[in-house]
Amino acid sequence: MEQELADHLERVRAARGELTESIRALEDALALPVGLGDVWRRRSRAALTELAHDLRDHVAITESAGGLYDDLRTRAPRLALTVDAQLADHQFFLVEVDRLLAERDSGQAGDDADAHRQAVGAMLTRLTRHRQRGSDLIYEAYEVDIGGSG
């Protein structure tokens, strides 16, 4: 594997670690009792904001010109459908995290905290599948393990 690709995969690995930390922080925040009121709202908002930032970084790194997905399409065109699924997920996550942040900011999440928790949980479940599929994709194309725990 040439050095440029190895360096890019290292950036992907680092961003993946940041995303893992954001996911855990959001899960921890959502697990707090809603009865904590402002504490619950602030912690969940901060964790969701950090996740949004790390998702944007992940998308920027993997979708950059000459980056991971460009390279995968060139080296392993047989994996194009999986790459397309990853790209579609990216669009979903960017829109969904913005929607969830707007819901938090508008106060709607406080009105129905359970529904907000369920929506965030559903997004996190899909994000977990996305990360697993991404690991499998990279391994299949390059025989490189980018790490499951960050």
Report the C-alpha gap between 48 and 104 in whole angstroms.
Answer: 9
d(CA 30, CA 43): 8
Q: Domain 3-142 has what CATH class? A: mainly alpha
Mean pLDDT of 73-88: 93
3-state secondary structure (DSSP) of residue 143: coil
Candidates 56, 87, 66, 83; CA nearest to 137 is: 83
Write down the domain spans for the chain. Answer: 3-142
Q: Which of 29-33, 87-91, 144-148 has the lowest mean pLDDT?
A: 144-148
**Residue 150 binned pLDDT confidence (cut-offs 50, 70, 90):** very low
- As a whole number, the mean pLDDT across the chain is 88
Lowest mean pLDDT segment, chosen from 40-54, 79-93, 101-115, 133-147: 101-115
Q: Determine the average pLDDT of the residues in 44-48.
A: 93
For the chain, percent of residues with pLDDT exceeding 70: 91
Task: Give residue 37's pLDDT.
Answer: 80
pLDDT tens digits for 90-143?
A: 999 999 999 999 987 766 555 678 888 899 999 999 999 999 999 999 989 888
Cα dihedral sign, 110-101-128-50: negative
